[in-house]
Amino acid sequence: MSDCIFCKIAQKEIPSNIVYEDDTTIAFRDVEPQAPTHVLVIPKKHVKSVMELSDKELAAHILTEVIPKIAKDEGIAEKGFRVVANVGEDGGQTVPHLHFHILGGRSMQWPPG
Ligand code: AMP
């Protein structure tokens, strides 16, 4: 999508601090980190949210390979971390391109706000 900020990040049209990339997926540091480690993992192709994530291979790749790899690389796998995908208005999604937040490096609270 031409006006999607995360599509532009995926296509390197706007800069980001990339921590991981492969053919289908890219991960970069959040510009407003909410934890010592705050990385966003996105599919390169435009998918609006979890509700539109029909590509099972891509979903499995992100959840079973990319996120665990980043957690290990960032040194947060052992103590634990949080994976969040906000969906829609009530979910607090502000960028309508699917992204998984990886938050770690501090103790998380529950429930979220
Ligand atoms: P959400 O509110 O779940 O849609 O999360 C969107 C996230 O994208 C927020 O945490 C923002 O800080 C982050 N964000 C917005 N623009 C950028 C950008 N250009 N580079 C990195 N992170 C961004």
Active site residues: 99
Q: What is the pLDDT of residue 44?
A: 98
The mean pLDDT of 6-30, rounded to a whole number, is 98
The mean pLDDT of 108-112, rounded to a whole number, is 95
Distance separating alpha carbons of residues 4 and 66, to the nearest angstrom: 22
Quick one: what percent of the chain has pLDDT higher than 70? 100
Distances (CA, A) of 106 to 40, 59, 71, 72, 102: 17, 26, 13, 15, 12
Question: Which run of H or E residues covers position 57?
Answer: helix 56-61
The mean pLDDT of 75-87, rounded to a whole number, is 98
Query: Does pTM top 0.95 for this prediction?
Result: yes
The mean pLDDT of 29-42, rounded to a whole number, is 98
- Residue whose CB lies within 8 A of the most ligand 1 atoms, among 4, 51, 94, for a mutation test: 94
Rounded to the nearest angstrom, the distance between the alpha carbon of 107 and the centre of ligand 1 is: 21
Query: 25 in ligand 1 pocket by Cβ < 6 Å?
Result: no
Query: 24 in ligand 1 pocket by Cβ < 6 Å?
Result: no
Query: 7 in ligand 1 pocket by Cβ < 6 Å?
Result: no
Protein residue with least CA distance to atom 20, ligand 1: 31
Query: Which residues, including other chains, have CB under 8 Å from residue 85's CB and lie 6 or more apart?
Result: 49, 50, 98, 99, 100, 101
Model confidence at 84: pLDDT above 90: yes
Query: 86 in ligand 1 pocket by Cβ < 6 Å?
Result: yes
